[in-house]
């Protein structure tokens, strides 16, 4: 049980960093706005991506190998795609309210997008999250599972402990500097 918790914590870290990289890529390369730290904390991670990834794993991960056919076509990936869109959109909406409560605002603004709600969520990013979630469920997660399965107990302990201390330190510094 403790080993699984450590693995899932590492998955949380992996996806938080990947989320940060995705956000910075969009900001610097796609939109050409220039660099800014896209996370709430100081480090290179967006924890909402880590939480969202774990939520997707717990809710949808078990279905990635199941099959539902219409004729000869497996339609389970369509259900997973729609589930990812719903879950990530709800997570983004809730996160915007939490961030607004804590900091007075949130880190994105979708008012310029069609089909948006209060600039907090919009159809375009929800579809992108759906596509990214499919890549995560079917490509990245199996790779991360293989990686963590190959780690020795000591390596898993060290990686999870160091990651936890880094995040904890970052949260403490965030709280201190906010005050």
What band does 37 get if pLDDT is binned at 50, 70 and 90?
low
Does 71 reside within a domain? yes
* pLDDT for 23: 83
Query: Domain tally for the chain?
Result: 1
Residue 177: inside a domain, yes or no? no
- For 102-138, the DSSP string reads HHSS-S---TTSSSEETTTEEHHHHHHHHHHHHHIII
- Residue 179 inside a domain? The answer is no
Length of the chain: 179
40 falls within a domain? yes
Mean pLDDT of all residues in 11-37:
83
- Evaluate whether residue 16 is within a structural domain: yes
What residues make up the domain containing 141? 2-171
* Mean local confidence (pLDDT), 100-104: 88
Task: Give pLDDT tens digits for 42-82.
Answer: 778 888 889 989 999 999 999 999 999 999 999 999 999 99
CB-CB contact of 99 with 107 (8 Å): yes
Q: What angle do CA 29, 130, 79 make, to 5 degrees?
A: 165
Q: What is the pLDDT of residues 112-135, one digit of tens each?
A: 999 999 999 999 999 999 999 999
Segment 158-162 mean pLDDT:
95
What contacts 62, CB < 8 A, 6 or more positions away?
A: none
In a domain, 152, yes or no: yes
Give CA torsion, residues 26, 131, 12, 23, to 10 deg: 10
């Amino acid at each position: 049980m403790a080993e699984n918790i450590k693995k899932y914590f590492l998955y949380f870290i992996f996806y938080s960093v990947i989320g940060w990289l995705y956000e910075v890529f969009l900001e610097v390369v796609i939109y050409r706005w220039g660099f800014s730290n896209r996370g709430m904390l100081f480090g290179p991670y967006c924890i909402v991506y880590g939480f969202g990834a774990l939520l997707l794993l717990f809710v949808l991960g078990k279905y990635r190998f199941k099959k539902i056919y219409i004729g000869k076509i497996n339609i389970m990936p369509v259900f997973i795609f729609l589930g990812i869109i719903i879950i990530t959109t709800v997570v983004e909406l809730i996160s915007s309210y939490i961030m607004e409560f804590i900091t007075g605002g949130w880190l994105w603004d979708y008012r310029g997008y069609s089909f948006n709600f209060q600039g907090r969520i919009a159809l375009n990013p929800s579809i992108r999250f759906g596509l990214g979630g499919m890549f995560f469920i079917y490509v990245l997660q199996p790779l991360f599972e293989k990686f963590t399965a190959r780690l020795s107990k000591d390596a898993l302990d060290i990686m999870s402990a160091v990651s936890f201390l880094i995040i904890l330190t970052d949260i403490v510094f965030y709280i201190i500097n906010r005050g």
